[in-house]
Amino acid sequence: MPTNFADRLNIAVREKQSCTVVGIDPRLSQLPAPILERHPNAFGDLAVAADAYREFGCRIAELVAPLVPAVKPQIAFFERLGPAGMAAYADICAAARKLGLLVIADVKRSDIGSTAQAYSDAFLGPVDGGQAGFETDAVTVNAYLGSDGVRPFIEAAKANGKGLFILVRTSNPSAGEFQDLKHEGKVVFEHVAQKVKEWGKEVVGESGYSSVGAVVGATYPEEAAVLRALMPQTPFLVPGYGAQGGGAEDVRPSFNGDGLGAIVNASRSIIFAYSREPWKQKFGETEWEEAVVAATREMNEELKPLVS
Amino acid sequence: MPTNFADRLNIAVREKQSCTVVGIDPRLSQLPAPILERHPNAFGDLAVAADAYREFGCRIAELVAPLVPAVKPQIAFFERLGPAGMAAYADICAAARKLGLLVIADVKRSDIGSTAQAYSDAFLGPVDGGQAGFETDAVTVNAYLGSDGVRPFIEAAKANGKGLFILVRTSNPSAGEFQDLKHEGKVVFEHVAQKVKEWGKEVVGESGYSSVGAVVGATYPEEAAVLRALMPQTPFLVPGYGAQGGGAEDVRPSFNGDGLGAIVNASRSIIFAYSREPWKQKFGETEWEEAVVAATREMNEELKPLVS
């Protein structure tokens, strides 16, 4: 009997005393030299580039596994490399899960019901009785198509102990263009939040949280406070910390006061920490791994008051 | 110098006298026996299943290449099979393009700007100066994140002669849950349409149509009429014909009266025609290829008044 995803997440947050999610978003030009040197021709050959991503992503997972509850590999960067990139993606997800990390596939998929079922199978399984094509613990989902496009993911959450995070308020500058349109006194993202809350009631775990979560950007703290009040049982996946500009104060409204309620993602500021201050000065490019660990520890420290 | 996508599409529609788009959406349990027999263990082995999908998809492309302007492989069904499925997807797209078909990657991707760039690279290229990871002619895009999530695809349309179709009004039963919320007298999907129109102005071809298209479901003909009037230069990709219930009268409002303006997708009713009446009675399962051709010709006939 698989445990509820929200319960698994909350246990991991408590155990690690960390709400940090490390985003695995490789970009070829930013990979540290020691990785690139082992993969000559990575810039001209997608399969070689995918090998470099695989090594980098698996190493990131090893480095952060003792420190954080979850990683969030962003599939777009792997898709960019074609089929070889997708194979690397699957391998990194599998390696991270083997290390005891929860893996959130950042895929932002959306489609009509029968097609959404295929996406759900792909990441939340099972496929034909066996393992999913890309077995992970949770996915991000875009709900523009409404309930029938979300339903298969909810069913997988119930049947397989998986989770989903539905885009409510995204972290990007143009997020408000459609999300802020106002209908009967509530903006679109509040209407989405209302549905997320309803859908979530079906998959509430022993910790009181649902396996149907919400993506709520760190870059809009006021909206986060409104959403936190609206959806008390919904776990928030909070992107936008670090490179996108959000800080510890910006993510505070996403928490519930019980040390739970939100997990906070940082990608570039951790995985490429070696190329950014203060780590750049402290660690050389050959010590990129130490920089990853140091940046992760620092983020844990910054957010510690929120999880304890 | 690559030709504008909308021009390429319109030339193909005129040449083939067809606005039919064949959706390549394989489902293992519905593949015809002759394909399954050549791939024993397809139900227990994702790589074998992917081989079956590859053969089926490539054969579909060969069968319909003389008859239609474009195919639309749905990536979810391939993603379901993991990395091997994605390799089959890439091969089918490449084979179809080699046959002169335009390939619309139905991926409905969405993300923040820097990540959307990676998705755009993946399908509309180029990647590091070479070919895209999954080289196709156009993609479907979900605009919930607003302009910055759409911008990379528009830039690729301009630079590489590619196209995109943005989800405006989807064909599924719950489409209206968020798309019908009303802001200042206009529903959300009309606000999206307004943006699609604006974005499209940057990529208008010699035919007067833009390479920034819209997805407008056949199952909502009244909305299609409103949208057609709102976006006269926008090509519509119309799903929902056939298995989802739309007929020729339902897609008429999506056309412009000049024989252009819309392309109409059918998937299951064509690729699995052998298992559906009237073709089931006429062709045996071993003649599934004849059924594909017959169903495609029939759909062309039904829609002929709209394109000539």
- pLDDT tens digits, one per residue of A192-219: 999 999 999 999 999 999 999 999 998 8
pLDDT digits (tens, 9 = 90+) for B85-116: 999 999 999 999 999 999 999 999 999 999 99
Domain enclosing residue A100, as ranges: 5-307
pLDDT digits (tens, 9 = 90+) for B148-171: 999 999 999 999 999 999 999 999
A216 in reach of chain B (CB within 8 A): no
Catalytic positions of A, please?
108
Q: What is the DSSP string of B127-140?
A: BTTB--TT--SEEE
Q: Would you say residue B240 has pLDDT above 90? A: no
The enclosing domain of B191 has a CATH number of 3.20.20.70
Provide the shortest C-alpha distance from residue B158 to chain A (in Å).
19
| N residues, chain B | 308
A118 in reach of chain B (CB within 8 A): yes
Mean pLDDT of A163-168: 98
What confidence category does residue B182 fall into, taking pLDDT thresholds of 50, 70 and 90?
very high
What confidence category does residue A255 fall into, taking pLDDT thresholds of 50, 70 and 90?
very high
B114's tokens: 């820097």
Residue in chain A nearest B179 by alpha carbon:
A144
Residue in chain A nearest B134 by alpha carbon:
A82
pLDDT digits (tens, 9 = 90+) for B127-151: 987 889 999 999 999 999 999 999 9
Q: Using alpha carbons only, how large is chain B's radius of gyration in Å?
A: 19
Are A82 and B122 within 8 A, CB to CB?
A: yes
Residue B159's pLDDT is 96
pTM (predicted TM-score): 0.98
Q: Which amino acid type is present at position B5? A: F
* Residue among B189, B224, B191, B195 nearest B210 (CA): B195
Residue B186 bridge partners (DSSP): B183
pLDDT digits (tens, 9 = 90+) for A50-106: 999 999 999 999 999 999 999 999 999 999 999 999 999 999 999 999 999 999 999
pLDDT digits (tens, 9 = 90+) for A217-234: 988 999 999 999 999 999
Residue B2's pLDDT is 66
Residue in chain A nearest B73 by alpha carbon:
A115
Are B145 and A28 within 8 A, CB to CB?
A: no
Q: What is chain A's mean pLDDT, rounded?
A: 96
Mean pLDDT of B56-80: 98
Q: Using alpha carbons only, how large is chain A's radius of gyration in Å?
A: 19
Are B192 and A178 within 8 A, CB to CB?
A: yes
Mean pLDDT of B270-282: 96
Residue in chain B nearest A190 by alpha carbon:
B178
A200's tokens: 């979530």
What residues of B are in contact with residue A182 (Cβ under 8 Å)? 183
Are B133 and A178 within 8 A, CB to CB?
A: no
Q: Would you say residue B200 has pLDDT above 60? A: yes
Q: Which of residues 171-210 of A touch B (CB under 8 A)?
A: 171-179, 181-183, 188, 191-192, 195
Considering only the C-alpha atoms of chain A, give the largest distance between any 2 of them, rounded to a whole number of Å: 58
Q: Which of residues 30-49 of A touch B (CB under 8 A)?
A: 43-44, 46, 49
Cα–Cα distance, B153 to B97 (Å, whole number)? 20
Cα–Cα distance, B27 to A133 (Å, whole number)? 14
Residue A163's pLDDT is 98
Q: Would you say residue A247 has pLDDT above 90? A: no
Q: Specify whether the CB–CB gap between A20 and A266 falls below 8 A.
A: yes
Cα–Cα distance, B21 to B68 (Å, whole number)? 6
State how beta strands A186-187 and A182-183 pair. Answer: antiparallel
Number of structural domains chain A divides into: 1
Are B177 and A116 within 8 A, CB to CB?
A: no
Catalytic one of B72, B98, B108, B186: B108
| N residues, chain A | 308
Distance set, CA B298 to CA B23, B63, B102, B162, B252 (Å)? 16, 14, 21, 29, 17
A293 in reach of chain B (CB within 8 A): no
Cis upstream peptide for A239 (omega within 30°): no
Residue A100's pLDDT is 98
Distance set, CA A170 to CA A40, A56, A177, B100, B195 (Å)? 37, 27, 11, 39, 18
Cβ-Cβ contacts under 8 Å for A229 (sequence gap 6 or more):
none
Cα–Cα distance, B52 to B62 (Å, whole number)? 16
Provide the shortest C-alpha distance from residue B82 to chain A (in Å).
4
**What count of Cα atoms within 13 Å lies in the side-chain half-sphere of residue B149?**
26
Residue A2's pLDDT is 66
A134 in reach of chain B (CB within 8 A): yes
Q: Would you say residue A308 has pLDDT above 90? A: no
What is the CA angle A57-B148-A269, rounded to 5?
35
pLDDT digits (tens, 9 = 90+) for A111-153: 999 999 999 999 999 998 788 999 999 999 999 999 999 999 9
Cα–Cα distance, B29 to A107 (Å, whole number)? 26
Q: Specify whether the CB–CB gap between A62 and A27 falls below 8 A.
A: no
